[in-house]
Amino acid sequence: MSGGSQEFVRATPRPGGPIVSAIGYRSEGQRPALHRGLPSPYLTVIFSLDGPVVGGATAEQATGTGAVRTDIVVGGLHQAPAFIAQPAHEAGIQLSLHPLAARAVLGVPAAALSGEIVTEGTDVFGPAAARIRDRLHELPGWADRFACLAAYLRPDDDPFAGVRPEVAEAWTWLARHRGAGTLPGLAAHVALSERRLTTLFRAETGLSPGQAARLMRFQHAKAAVVRAVARGAPPDLARVAAAHGYADHSHLVRAFHRYTGLSPTAWLAEECRNIQAGGHLNGEESDS
């Protein structure tokens, strides 16, 4: 298995559109492993171009008879890792979808998906998604596949249609502050009480503003750690913590434990292969 290969190809989504990042992946001859799909402030959509994606909310579920198996994955916002059984060979396209675009793209608010780590894609998109997956198989290269998916997922009108303007502005404010803003400051910015804002925000996304902010902050901090490792440098966790609004090194380590179930060192060791191949540098650290 040591002679296997991995390929990650990134697309450049349209700025301001519903797709935050898009990455095509293919691996062959790899040692089967268990991958942690980490929480992020974006919805996950996967179109497998090989066998079904096999996973679960726990490692035991992902590797047992109760594993979820689906060719098209839609994942809501969550605050704990999902576990994916990675086989010796796999291929597909993984998208990060802006949660406020869920109404326009998926037909439901992101909150409707928050109770499930993995949802069968055709249950959300309908049977047309299976035909799109077949089409992706037929296309000759990644650029054509990305274009096909972008055309399929692009809403005709505003991708954030149906979202209350206060919630949309709250999300933009949190993203601009990289998750480091305060709830009182956010509520004042959108001219709502903290309670009312939290109610509306949770009804749309499935998360409170504080939960979304913490996910955004962790996303940026994790991306900084990954960039350091990809350059071949040991990450300076104290510096990363200070740059991303954490009180200290220990605060960042606790965030890693919360969202990955591991220390930063243990998570990096587990993901070393994917990081070296470029699998984590997929643009999600943007301020979309």
* Domain end residue (candidates: 140, 159, 178): 159
Amino acid in position 141: G
* Domain end residue (candidates: 159, 193, 223): 159
Say yes or no: 188 and 114 in one domain: no
Say yes or no: 72 and 121 in one domain: yes
Regions of the chain where pLDDT drops below 50: 1, 282-288
- Per-residue pLDDT, 279: 59
Say yes or no: 15 and 29 in one domain: yes
Query: Model confidence over 53-98: pLDDT tens digits?
Result: 999 999 999 999 999 999 999 999 999 999 999 999 999 999 999 9
Rounded Cα–Cα distance for residues 99 and 77 (Å) = 8
Say yes or no: 30 and 90 in one domain: yes
Say yes or no: 235 and 267 in one domain: yes
In the chain, the N- to C-terminal Cα span, in Å, equals 38
- Host domain of residue 168: 164-288
Say yes or no: 150 and 10 in one domain: yes
Using alpha carbons only, what angle is made at residue 20 by residues 268 and 271, rounded to the nearest 5 degrees?
Answer: 10
- Per-residue pLDDT, 53: 94
Say yes or no: 155 and 267 in one domain: no
Sheet of 119-120: strands edge to edge? 5-11, 19-28, 90-97, 43-48, 72-75, 119-120
Say yes or no: 118 and 75 in one domain: yes
- Per-residue pLDDT, 233: 83
- Per-residue pLDDT, 230: 83
Say yes or no: 144 and 178 in one domain: no
* Domain end residue (candidates: 125, 159, 193): 159
In contact, 162 and 20? CB cutoff 8 Å: no
Say yes or no: 78 and 208 in one domain: no
- Per-residue pLDDT, 271: 80
CATH of the domain at 239: 1.10.10.60
CATH of the domain at 47: 2.60.120.10
Rounded Cα–Cα distance for residues 76 and 94 (Å) = 14
Say yes or no: 262 and 183 in one domain: yes
- Per-residue pLDDT, 202: 97
* Main-chain phi, psi angles of 144, to 5 degrees: -65, -40
| Tokens 């900084």 belong to residue | 224
Please give the tally of structural domains in the chain.
2
Say yes or no: 50 and 141 in one domain: yes
pTM here is 0.90
69 DSSP 8-state letter: E
